[in-house]
């Protein structure tokens, strides 16, 4: 949700800023802008729409500036117009600010600043920041720039990450963070900042993630970090084990397609990280290396999960696994609902926040609220808040007691694919760990589950190999289709939801996922020959039931597409997307792949921007 970058050093700032914005564009693409300092003046260029509009404006000028800030916007306050694009300036054009977040008290601040004579040129919440900095700026005091930014921050309510330039300090870039991500990159005599390390890895892998309540001064000589009270902090950067290649398309047309193809490797990585491959039924070791806090293994009575979007779908599969494998009653909540109507506090309950980005505002706020509730309710906090994330350095990690890293690698496509499967894999591992250590499953069953999981990467590769071309061809049958229905039952009901979400978010086709048995209670009224129905009908306990529900759809003239196992003999499906025969328990890891490919090819054949669909952003850091 908006991306910010900053640079100070010896190279041409504009090139570095634009490259950084390109890597952050997945966070929002309603407008983009940069500001630099040239000859004691702020030079700002902005453009509505995607980054290429800004780039073509910048091509007409050459810049020698060695300091600058940049922004790519996902509109919250004010339309996606150029006048609302960042950077925002104070009235005299001496201070420039880019911001990611929301200033909740901006109306009140704006009103006050207006009565003091400030003129506003945008509808954004951000514009109050440069005006406040200008108001507090007193060139007579020591450290005037830093002091003015500090005073300004003390007036801001909400979540924000900012980067600020001031013409009187052409060798200083000031950045600050409060509940929105910001990382500093360290080079040789040059320093960077960005909302996400994806914008930094091309230049440096030496990074420092700013924490909430921290403000930093970047100069060509180094980085100084303070807390908001002005106390100097001593912090050491760390080295990231990423290569710039990780954030390239590597020959695929879109990041989404590349990320779909990376899924077998992601599953392998997860298994290598967490499953003890030498484990045998009579050994003294544990089959899973998660090492959760001991009391979780002993006292746990319930699990509640909070998540949004695709992570919520992964959590529904998690519920199934935790209940069926570990016998722990599990509740899955939308984080955005849980925040305002939480379930009453239950004894011995672990809460799990599931978020690939680790930054989703609703999930973060729900977990913070839950932590506070528990401290107040019990007077004694027992570690019981876990996070499942692909970003162990994210805000989530600062809240939870323990992070389960999903090891999916950076995901750039706005539509989550490999991070979804990585979350699902984390739930297999967690359920197996809890089930075994709490003696809810036999050693024999543990072996069966480990064997089943270990075969998944090859089976996934088989689907990608045998089904992709067929699915591409099938996708061409729906150039004008306006509605799709996805049905599934049991562990594959969340896959119906996920298939529908993937299709709607990247192809803009109306799509709904339903538990197959619920169709006849209302949604079946939607069906006719123009509404294709995708049924996940893999072998297992609910196979016949799903087939009956698919029959009911066929009787209403719907075109039926089945996700079925090899050698399925059912002939009601007009099209079959085939996955290898597996135990039902593992089937979602396979059944989701044809649906990801189907939505990808439908959107791609429609010529849509698959990686950056309209109105969306990868990381939703606003409520
Ligand atoms: O980063 P998170 O996992 O917390 O994100 C949650 C949702 O915003 C995200 O899954 C969203 O639904 C994706 N665009 C789905 O593809």
Question: Residues 89-139: pLDDT tens digits?
Answer: 999 999 999 999 999 999 999 999 999 999 999 999 999 999 999 999 999
Q: In the numeric block, which tokens belong to residue 263?
A: 């899924």
Say yes or no to pLDDT of 241 above 80.
no
Q: What's the sign of the alpha-carbon dihedral 104, 108, 110, 113?
A: negative
Assess contact for 497 and 524: CB atoms under 8 A.
no
Burial track 457-479 (b if 16+ CB lie within 10 A, e otherwise): bebbebbeeebbeebbebbeebe
User: Comparing C-alpha atoms, which of 566, 598, 568, 405 is closest to residue 484?
Assistant: 598
Helix, strand or coil, per DSSP, at residue 303? strand
C-alpha to C-alpha distance for 228 and 246, rounded to whole angstroms: 35
Q: What stretches of 281-416 show up as alpha helix (H) in DSSP?
A: 294-299, 309-324, 335-338, 361-378, 395-399
In terms of Cβ atoms closer than 10 Å to its own Cβ (0-12, 13-18, 19+), residue 278 is exposed
| E-assigned strand segments in 382-532 | 385-389, 402-405, 483-488, 510-515
Confidence at 329, pLDDT banded by 50, 70, 90: very high
Cβ neighbours of 283 (radius 10 Å)? 11
Render pLDDT for 12-40 as a digit per residue (tens, 0 to 9). 999 999 999 999 998 888 999 999 999 99
Phi, psi angle pair for 241, to nearest 5°: -95, 55
> What's the CA-to-centroid distance between 575 and ligand 1, angstroms?
30
Assess contact for 210 and 183: CB atoms under 8 A.
yes
Q: Supply the residue whose CA is at minimum distance from atom 2 of ligand 1.
A: 355
> What's the CA-to-centroid distance between 250 and ligand 1, angstroms?
24
Rounded to whole angstroms, what are the CA distances from 341 to 25, 42, 55, 334, 366? 34, 47, 45, 10, 10
Q: Supply the residue whose CA is at minimum distance from atom 11 of ligand 1.
A: 309
Phi, psi angle pair for 522, to nearest 5°: 155, -60
Confidence at 245, pLDDT banded by 50, 70, 90: low
> What's the CA-to-centroid distance between 586 and ligand 1, angstroms?
23
* DSSP code of residue 329: -
The average pLDDT across 172-193 equals: 95
Biggest distance spanned by C-alpha atoms of the chain: 84
> What's the CA-to-centroid distance between 563 and ligand 1, angstroms?
24
Pocket test of ligand 1: the residue of 27, 311, 410, 603 to mutate, having most ligand atoms within 8 Å of its CB, is 311
Assess contact for 28 and 3: CB atoms under 8 A.
yes
Assess contact for 253 and 604: CB atoms under 8 A.
yes
Helices vs. strands in the chain: H and E counts, helices first: 17, 25
Render pLDDT for 585-621 as a digit per residue (tens, 0 to 9). 999 999 999 999 999 999 999 999 999 999 888 878 7
User: Which atom number of ligand 1 is nearest to the Cα of residue 414?
Assistant: 14
Q: Supply the residue whose CA is at minimum distance from atom 7 of ligand 1.
A: 309
Q: In the numeric block, which tokens belong to residue 446?
A: 């543990």
Assess contact for 582 and 593: CB atoms under 8 A.
no
User: Comparing C-alpha atoms, which of 124, 134, 242 is closest to residue 183?
Assistant: 242
Cβ neighbours of 266 (radius 10 Å)? 25
Q: Supply the residue whose CA is at minimum distance from atom 16 of ligand 1.
A: 415
pTM of the model: 0.84
Residue 179, phi-psi category: left (phi > 0), alpha (psi -120 to 50), beta (remainder) = left
Residues near 515 by beta carbon (within 8 Å), at least 6 away in sequence: 487, 488, 489, 493, 496
Domains and CATH numbers, the chain: 3-247 (3.60.20.10), 253-441 (3.40.50.10490), 465-613 (3.40.50.10490)
Within 6 A (CB) of ligand 1 lie 308-311, 355-357, 360, 363, 414-416, 501, 505, 616, 619-620
Q: Is 2 a catalytic residue?
A: yes
Confidence at 73, pLDDT banded by 50, 70, 90: very high
């Amino acid at each position: 949700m908006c991306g910010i970058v900053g640079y100070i050093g010896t190279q041409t700032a504009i090139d570095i800023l634009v490259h950084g914005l390109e890597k952050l564009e997945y966070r929002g693409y309603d407008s983009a802008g940069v500001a630099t300092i040239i000859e004691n003046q702020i030079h700002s260029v902005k453009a509505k729409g995607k980054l290429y509009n800004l780039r073509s404006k910048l091509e007409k000028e050459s810049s020698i500036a060695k300091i600058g800030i940049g922004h790519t916007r996902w509109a919250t306050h004010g339309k996606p117009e150029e006048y609302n694009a960042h950077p925002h300036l104070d009235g005299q054009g001496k201070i420039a600010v880019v911001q990611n977040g929301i200033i909740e008290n901006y109306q009140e601040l704006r009103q006050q600043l207006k009565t003091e004579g400030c003129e506003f040129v945008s509808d954004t919440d951000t514009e109050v920041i440069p005006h406040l900095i200008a108001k507090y700026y007193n060139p007579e005091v020591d450290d005037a720039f830093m002091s003015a930014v500090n005073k300004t921050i003390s007036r801001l309510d909400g979540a924000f990450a900012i980067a600020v330039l001031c013409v009187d300090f052409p060798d200083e870039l000031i950045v600050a963070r409060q509940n929105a991500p910001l990382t500093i990159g360290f080079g040789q005599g040059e320093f960077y900042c960005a909302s996400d390390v994806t914008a930094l890895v091309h230049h440096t892998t030496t990074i420092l993630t700013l924490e909430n309540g921290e403000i930093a001064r970047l100069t060509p000589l180094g980085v100084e970090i303070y807390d908001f009270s002005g106390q100097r902090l001593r912090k050491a950067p760390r080295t990231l084990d990423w290569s710039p290649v990780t954030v390239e398309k590597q020959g695929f047309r879109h990041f989404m397609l590349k990320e779909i193809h990376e899924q077998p490797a992601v599953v392998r990585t997860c298994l290598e990280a967490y499953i003890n491959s030498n484990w045998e039924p009579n050994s003294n070791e544990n089959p899973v290396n998660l090492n959760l806090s001991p009391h979780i293994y002993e006292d746990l009575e319930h699990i509640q999960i909070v998540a949004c979007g695709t992570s919520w779908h992964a959590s529904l599969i998690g519920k199934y696994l935790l209940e069926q494998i570990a016998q722990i009653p599990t509740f899955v909540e939308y984080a955005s609902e849980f925040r305002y109507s939480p379930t009453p506090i239950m004894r011995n309950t672990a809460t799990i926040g599931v978020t690939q980005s680790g930054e989703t505002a609703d999930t973060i706020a729900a977990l913070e609220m839950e932590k506070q509730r528990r401290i107040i309710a019990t007077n004694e906090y027992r570690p019981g808040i876990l996070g499942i994330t692909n970003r162990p350095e994210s805000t989530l990690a600062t809240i939870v007691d323990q992070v389960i890293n999903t090891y999916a690698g950076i995901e750039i496509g706005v539509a989550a694919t490999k991070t979804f499967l990585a979350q699902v894999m984390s739930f297999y591992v967690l359920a197996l760990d809890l089930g075994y250590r709490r003696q809810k499953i036999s050693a024999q069953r543990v072996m069966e589950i480990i064997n089943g999981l270990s075969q998944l990467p090859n089976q996934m590769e088989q689907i990608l190999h045998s089904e992709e071309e067929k699915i591409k061809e099938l996708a061409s049958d729906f150039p004008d289709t306006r509605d799709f229905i996805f049905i599934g039952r049991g562990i594959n009901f969340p896959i119906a939801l996920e298939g529908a979400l993937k299709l709607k978010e990247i192809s803009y086709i109306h799509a709904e996922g339903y538990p197959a048995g619920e169709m006849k209670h209302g949604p079946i009224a939607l069906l006719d020959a123009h509404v294709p129905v995708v049924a996940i009908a893999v072998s297992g306990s609910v196979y016949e039931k799903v087939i009956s529900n698919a029959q009911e759809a066929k009787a209403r003239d719907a075109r039926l597409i089945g996700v079925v196992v090899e050698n399925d003999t059912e002939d009601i499906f007009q099209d079959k997307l085939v996955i290898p025969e597996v135990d039902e328990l593992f089937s979602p890891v396979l059944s989701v792949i044809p649906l990801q490919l189907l939505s990808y090819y439908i959107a791609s054949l429609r010529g849509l921007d698959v990686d950056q669909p309209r109105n969306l952003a990868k990381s939703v850091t606003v409520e």
